[in-house]
Amino acid sequence: MPIHLYWGDDEAARHRAVEARVTELVDPAWAAINLSRLDGNDTAQAAQALEEARTPPFGGGARVVVVQRSPFCSQCPAELAEQLEATLELVPDNCHLLLVSPGKPDARLRTTKALKKVAQEQSFQLPAIWDGGGQVELVQRTARDLGLKLDLAAAEALAEIVGSDSTRLESELEKLSLYQQGRHPDAAIDLQAVEALVGGRSTSSLAVGDALLAGQAAEAIALADALLAANEPALRIVASLSSQIRGWLWVALLEKTGEQDVAVIAKAAGIGNPKRIYVMRKQIRGKAAGQLLGLLSRLLEVEMALKRGSDPGEAFRDGFLLASPRPAGQPGGRPR
- Domain of residue 296, CATH code: 1.20.272.10
Higher pLDDT, 226 or 311: 311
DSSP letter at 150 equals B
Q: How far is CA 102 from the centre of its chain?
A: 11
Q: What percent of the chain has pLDDT over 70?
A: 92
User: Bridge partners of 101?
Assistant: 7
Model's pTM, two decimal places? 0.61
Q: CB–CB of 150/192 below 8 Å?
A: no
Residue 237 to residue 222: CA distance in whole angstroms: 13
Average pLDDT of the chain is 86
Tell me the per-residue pLDDT of 80-131, one tens digit each, with 9 for 90 and over.
Answer: 999 999 999 899 999 999 999 998 999 899 999 999 999 999 999 988 766 7
- Are residues 182 and 232 located together in one domain of the fold? no
DSSP 61: S
- Of 197, 217, 242, at which residue does a domain stop? 197
**Number of domains, the chain:** 3
In a domain, residue 329? The reply is no
Contact between 166 and 126 under an 8 Å Cβ cutoff? The reply is yes
What is the structure's pLDDT at 124?
A: 92
Per-range mean pLDDT, top range of 164-168, 226-230, 316-320: 316-320
Q: What is the pLDDT of residue 123?
A: 93
Distance CA(140)–CA(283), nearest Å, equals 25
Query: Domain limits at 304?
Result: 205-322
pLDDT at residue 333 in the model: 42
- At residue 199 the predicted structure's pLDDT band, cuts being 50, 70 and 90, is low
Query: Does residue 118 lie in a domain region?
Result: yes
